Each structure stands twice: as structure tokens, then as C-alpha cells.
């Protein structure tokens, strides 16, 4: 099947997140787990994240020396975290009596576009990984990074990007499975840090997982789920601290249970921008959002209200992740007096969403969401819906309360729904 691996065992990709390689003990534990898989007869490629809070610390270091760190240099800096993990893990594997070799993203053939700090993987040229596997090495690939096709620069893939590295490598190697080892037992009906009684999902459809990842379930990076769906990669998200089965992400099937709501997700780092005095004419919104797209800003929810009087001006509000706020502002400043008259920045916002494929066929879910939030005295600032998701922008400090209330109102707790079998 793989050509080069005639008669040879299947390949498994194992990805370990930051918490799973945070200190020496955990690196050794990951190494032991990788070796155990090899000894089961699999060929193993492990993708590692930076240790613990390393990436956050590197970002803080950059902010200490520069007001607006240069994106190319940012990627040179951030990509080091994952290299450290891989080199250390290779050493630990050597001590367990196995051959292992670590590669940077570039050495592993991870080719991306050139958008620094949010690059997209374009191709995985896995020859070097394949050759190392042939030589009976366990291969360690530094997650979250690649090399751009055009400029040959080091790039990084955005926060959580090691998940996408793992899936892309699994696709290129036609691996049997891509295991994502993390600090929770799988994908839950809400972030277990906020809802301790959240329920682990045994399986979740790509469709739901895409909406969940996009609305804050950071356990899998959104891009990794898209990539897995496009390339038919089987993702198994599980705990690096236990052997319990985790969550598999699969194509939706007839036999799958379809509860009304599958999960409540949230984001707490949203900023709202309101543009005042937008002329009510064709092309106004296009100019604004072209400028944001050119600056590679991730625009999330967009709301425009129609001017009430003839010849009046409209207002457009939208949200962006906090980390994109500065770039968004810079991109828009040039349009003041042309595409609008004033930029206003909203207070600290957050977003709560409910996701569920069963919602499609059940009216009244939105009304229930609004009722629950009203009962909690939470003011909804913006609303958006898709066929299987309802999202509300709310004050940031009320997000945990909103998540708990919705999780409870839709009866997603582990106790009450156990046995339903998803």
C-alpha cells in the first residue's frame, strides 16, 4: 500500500500536546508509550508540541522586546519550542534501546504558504520520514511548523497547530490512525475545566467537530479537523495519562445517535470592532473586509444594521480574536473617512455556542438558548446561527456561567445521559 513498506507493518502517528511533554518525567512517559507502540509492531511517527507553557513564554519574551514583533522573526522564535521537545524525546527513546531521529518541520517536508504565524500546510513531502522509517527509526516531527514554498522561510501554523502537523503527516503516510494524546480523555460535551460534569463523547462527526473546533473546543485545532476530513484521516483523541479509549472523529452515519445538542463551546478572547458611518451603498462591506482579509485577520461574527433614514449611514460590528485586534485596527485605519467615519472597539467580549446536528430538525432551540441566558441575567450582544450551531457574543466575565447554564439546561451532564452510547 505504501510502496516502500512492502510487507511491513502499518504506520501510526502519535501526537503529544504540551502538557504531555511538560517535564522530564512526562517526556520519558511519552517515549515509553511511543516505544510500546513500536513493540506492538507498528511503525511510529510522533509529532510533539512545545513543553508546557513554552509557546506562551516565547510570545511574552517577544512582547518584552518589541511593540509589534516582526512575524518572520516570531516564527523563528516560536518554532524552537517544538524542536526542544523532539530532540529530548529522541534521546529518551535511545535510552529505551530504540533508534529514533528528530526532524524540524522543514526537515520533515512540511511545506506551507508564506503567511507567518498562521501558515497553512500545502503539502507534505515525506521522503525523509519514509526513509527514516525504512531504516527502522522512530521518527519525531516538530509540530506547529513548516517551511514556505516560495520564500523558504520557517513558518508556524497558528496556536494548536501541532494537531494539524500530525494529521497532515498521517495523510501523507496513509497512516492507519492519527492519535492525538492530550491532557483530557477526549472530546467532551463542554470544556471539562469549566464543566466538571461534562460528558466524554465516544464518537463525534466531522461536521459537528468542525463547528465545535471553530467555536472554541481547542482540544483539536480547527484546521486539523478540516484536513482530516479532506484526506480521510482517522483521528482518535485520547488521554496521554491513561489507556482509556478517547473520542474518534468520523463521518456521520445513519446509525450514529443524534442527540439534539452535542456540546456547548466557548471562547473568551474575542474583541468587538464597530465601524460607524458606513455608506449605505454596494461595495462598502467588500472594501472593509477585503482590507481585513489582506491583513489575514480572522473575522468571526459580522452584524450590520440598516440605516433607518434615507441616506443614513449603517454600522457594521464584527468580532476578531484578541490576538488579531492590533492588526485589524492597522488594516482599517487607512479606510477612515472613506469606507466609514469611525472605529470603535468593544469591551472584552466572549462567545458561547451550542452545537448539535439534531438541531436541524428541531425548532425552538434558539428560543431556549436566549431564555436560559436571560434567566442568568446575561445580555446577548450579537447572535449568529448555522444549521447546527447557535452562537451568542456576551460579556467575557459571564462566559463560564453561561456555559454551565446551557450545559445543564440541555441536559448534557455525564450522569443524566450516560448509556445513550455516543
Report which residue's Cβ sits closest to ligand ASP.
162
Instruction: Tell me which of ligand ASP, ligand ADP, Mg ion, none is bound by residue 202, counting a contact when its beta carbon lies within the kind-specific cut-off of 5 to 8 angstroms.
Output: none
Q: Confirm or reject binding of residue 49 to ligand ADP (CB under 6 A).
A: yes
Applying the rule CB under 6 A, the residues between 106 and 125 that interact with ligand ADP are none
Which has the closest alpha carbon to 386: 409, 357, 349? 357
DSSP helix/strand/coil, 402: helix
Supply 181's cell numbers. Answer: 494524546
Q: Confirm or reject binding of residue 143 to ligand ASP (CB under 6 A).
A: yes
Q: Confirm or reject binding of residue 160 to Mg ion (CB under 5 A).
A: yes
Q: Confirm or reject binding of residue 81 to Mg ion (CB under 5 A).
A: no
Instruction: Tell me which of ligand ASP, ligand ADP, Mg ion, none is bound by residue 19, counting a contact when its beta carbon lies within the kind-specific cut-off of 5 to 8 angstroms.
Output: ligand ADP
Sign of the four-CA dihedral 93, 98, 104, 109: negative
Q: How many residues make contact with ligand ASP (CB under 6 A)? A: 13
d(CA 57, CA 193): 22
For 257: left if phi > 0, alpha if psi spans -120 to 50, otherwise beta; the answer is: beta
Q: Confirm or reject binding of residue 350 to ligand ASP (CB under 6 A).
A: no
Which has the closest alpha carbon to 82: 184, 162, 12? 162
Q: How far is CA 402 from CA 67, 198, 248, 265, 405, in A?
A: 35, 14, 27, 10, 5
Give me the least distance between CB of 364 and ligand ASP, in Å please. 38
Piece in contact with Mg ion (CB under 5 A), picked from 135-143, 153-161, 258-266, 401-409: 153-161
d(CA 392, CA 382): 6
> Please, are residues 38 and 164 in contact by the beta-carbon 8 Å criterion?
no
Give me the least distance between CB of 13 and ligand ADP, in Å please. 14
| Residue from 2, 37, 94, 159 binding ligand ASP (CB under 6 A) | 159
Q: Confirm or reject binding of residue 105 to ligand ASP (CB under 6 A).
A: no
Q: Confirm or reject binding of residue 11 to ligand ADP (CB under 6 A).
A: no
Cβ-based neighbours of 305, under 8 Å, separated by 6 or more: 314, 315
| Residue from 160, 186, 216, 259 binding ligand ASP (CB under 6 A) | 160
Contact residues toward ligand ASP (CB under 6 A) are 17-18, 49-50, 55, 81, 143-144, 159-163
Contact residues toward Mg ion (CB under 5 A) are 17, 160
Amino acid at each position: 500500500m505504501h510502496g516502500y513498506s512492502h510487507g511491513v507493518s502499518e504506520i501510526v502517528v502519535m501526537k503529544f500536546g504540551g502538557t504531555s511533554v511538560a517535564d522530564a518525567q512526562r517526556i520519558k512517559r511519552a517515549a515509553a508509550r511511543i516505544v510500546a507502540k513500536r513493540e506492538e509492531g507498528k511503525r511510529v511517527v510522533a509529532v510533539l508540541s512545545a513543553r508546557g507553557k513554552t509557546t506562551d513564554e516565547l510570545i511574552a519574551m517577544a512582547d518584552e522586546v518589541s511593540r509589534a514583533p516582526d512575524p518572520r522573526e516570531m516564527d523563528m522564535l516560536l518554532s524552537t519550542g517544538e524542536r526542544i521537545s523532539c530532540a529530548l524525546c529522541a534521546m529518551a527513546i535511545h535510552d529505551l534501546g530504540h533508534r529514533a531521529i528528530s526532524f524540524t518541520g522543514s526537515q520533515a517536508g512540511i511545506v506551507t504558504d508564506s503567511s507567518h504565524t498562521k501558515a497553512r500546510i500545502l503539502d507534505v513531502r515525506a521522503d525523509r520520514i519514509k526513509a527514516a522509517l525504512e531504516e527502522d527509526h522512530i521518527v519525531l516531527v516538530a509540530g506547529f511548523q513548516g517551511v514556505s514554498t516560495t520564500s523558504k522561510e520557517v513558518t508556524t501554523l497558528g496556536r494548536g497547530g501541532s494537531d494539524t502537523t500530525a494529521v497532515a503527516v498521517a495523510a501523507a503516510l496513509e497512516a492507519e490512525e492519527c492519535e492525538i494524546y492530550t491532557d483530557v480523555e477526549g472530546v467532551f460535551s463542554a470544556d471539562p475545566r469549566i464543566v466538571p460534569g461534562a460528558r466524554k463523547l465516544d464518537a463525534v462527526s466531522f461536521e459537528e467537530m468542525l463547528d465545535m473546533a471553530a467555536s472554541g473546543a481547542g482540544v483539536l485545532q480547527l484546521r486539523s479537523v478540516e484536513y482530516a476530513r479532506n484526506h480521510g484521516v482517522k483521528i482518535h483523541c485520547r488521554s496521554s495519562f491513561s489507556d482509556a479509549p478517547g473520542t474518534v472523529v468520523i463521518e456521520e452515519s445513519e446509525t450514529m445517535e443524534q442527540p439534539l445538542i452535542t456540546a456547548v463551546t466557548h471562547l473568551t478572547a474575542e474583541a468587538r470592532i464597530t465601524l460607524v458611518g458606513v455608506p449605505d451603498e454596494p461595495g462598502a462591506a467588500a472594501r472593509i473586509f477585503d482590507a481585513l482579509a489582506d491583513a489575514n485577520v480572522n473575522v468571526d461574527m459580522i452584524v450590520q444594521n440598516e440605516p433607518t433614514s434615507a441616506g443614513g449611514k449603517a454600522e457594521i460590528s464584527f468580532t476578531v480574536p484578541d490576538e488579531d485586534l492590533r492588526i485589524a485596527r492597522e488594516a482599517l485605519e487607512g479606510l477612515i473617512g472613506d469606507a466609514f467615519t469611525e472605529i470603535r472597539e468593544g469591551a472584552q467580549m466572549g462567545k458561547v455556542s451550542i452545537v448539535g446536528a439534531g438541531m436541524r430538525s428541531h425548532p425552538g432551540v434558539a428560543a431556549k438558548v436566549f431564555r436560559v441566558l436571560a434567566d442568568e441575567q446575561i445580555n446577548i450582544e450579537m447572535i449568529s446561527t448555522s444549521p447546527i450551531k447557535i452562537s451568542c457574543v456576551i460579556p467575557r466575565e459571564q462566559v463560564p456561567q453561561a456555559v454551565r447554564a446551557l450545559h445543564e439546561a440541555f441536559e448534557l451532564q455525564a450522569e443524566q445521559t450516560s448509556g445513550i452510547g455516543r
